Amino acid sequence: MATANIKDVKRRIKSVENTMQITKAMELVATSKLRGAKERAVASQPYFNTLYETMCEIQQDRGFKSIYTKKEFLKTVLVVVLAGDRGLAGGFNHNILKLAEDKINSLEKDGRTVKVFPIGKKAVEYFEKRNYEIYNKDYQISDNLTMSKSLSLSESIISGFRNGIYDKVELIYTTFVSTLVQNALSVTVLPIESRDLKDIKQDEKTDAEKSQKTSLTLYEPSAEEVFDGLIPKYISGLIFCSIIDSYASEQAARRTAMESASDNASEMIDSLSLLYNRARQAQITQELNEIVAGQMGNN
């Protein structure tokens, strides 16, 4: 191998080492953010559990009716899609955006008009480039999300539902299962059914236990008004938990991706170092042979 090629290999080793430093740093940052997101998710569960159980109990009242539970659908569906603000997270963004697009295509085949509410930069960019009808693009996922921001977001969703802009709301996001497993899923937000959210981890009671529970509470001025008054808190709680869940999933996916990238970089450095050492050894051997040959020629 020529001296110039040896220098190229050395430069490649240095370049890969620099890249590995970056991926290692990103892995550590993602691990730290993941820990915080998981703690926030756990802390938010009791609040949402209590609110969810209360709303399920209210619906057991005889003659209960609410605009938020009616099932007379028209033609328009709002699809809320939670994606990430950044890339370098493995298949996190791809999986959720693919599920969203499949869902939208399915709704359109059924004759529905679809409006998209993307949350997160990657979701906004994706649907803008593909000319989907975007309902709102002012929200991004961030690690400093507050309940007040979630309430503002939920009020925007509720307002469109009450005003008849759309008659159904679907939420598509990624739920955190473990550091290595994150699942993209779709749930119905509006209209509300007590069974819609039983698989979102907040309520672990069996259907048999629920059926045995009867409401002994008297609601004033009425069950409907109490239920409707709780809707903003309920939707904001659902959005808040989903965004935290999605954010934790993004950090877990990024941590895994960066760990894999660091491992690959380490293997590449070992391979290039071996190549460099062999080339360097061959060069030294050649130089010694040339020196010996020169000495023999002089004799």
User: What distances in angstroms separate CA 102 from CA 79, 91, 167, one per listed residue?
Assistant: 12, 16, 20
Task: Kindly state the tokens that stand for 236.
Answer: 């904001």
**Nearest alpha carbon to residue 65 among 191, 224, 293:** 224
The model carries a pTM of 0.77
Name the DSSP letter for residue 62: T
Task: Kindly state the tokens that stand for 158.
Answer: 């509720």
Q: How far apart are CA 214 and CA 77, in angstroms?
A: 33
Element (H, E) at 182: strand 182-190
Is the CATH number of domain 1-200+219-294 3.40.640.10? Answer: no
Q: Are 188 and 169 in contact (CB under 8 A)?
A: yes
Task: Kindly state the tokens that stand for 53.
Answer: 């159980």
Domain ranges of the chain: 1-200+219-294
Counting Cβ atoms within 10 Å, is residue 121 exposed (0-12), middle (13-18) or buried (19+)?
middle
Q: How far apart are CA 36 and CA 145, in angstroms?
A: 12
Task: Kindly state the tokens that stand for 114.
Answer: 């679809």
Q: How far apart are CA 138 and CA 124, in angstroms?
A: 9
pLDDT of residue 117: 92
List per-residue pLDDT tens for the chain, 299 residues long: 455 578 888 888 888 889 888 988 988 888 888 888 888 777 777 776 777 777 777 766 666 777 887 766 668 999 999 888 888 888 888 999 999 999 999 999 988 899 999 988 888 889 988 888 898 887 776 656 677 777 888 888 888 888 888 988 999 998 888 888 888 888 888 887 654 444 444 444 444 444 444 445 676 777 778 888 888 888 888 888 888 888 888 888 888 889 888 889 888 888 888 888 888 888 788 777 777 777 776 66
Residues paired with 186 in a beta bridge: 172
User: What distances in angstroms separate CA 119 from CA 77, 81, 85, 140, 170, one per listed residue?
Assistant: 16, 6, 9, 5, 13
Helix, strand, coil distribution of the chain in percent, nearest 5: 60, 10, 30
Task: Kindly state the tokens that stand for 229.
Answer: 């008054």
**Nearest alpha carbon to residue 59 among 209, 217, 235, 240:** 217
Q: Are 197 and 213 in contact (CB under 8 A)?
A: no
Residues paired with 134 in a beta bridge: 116
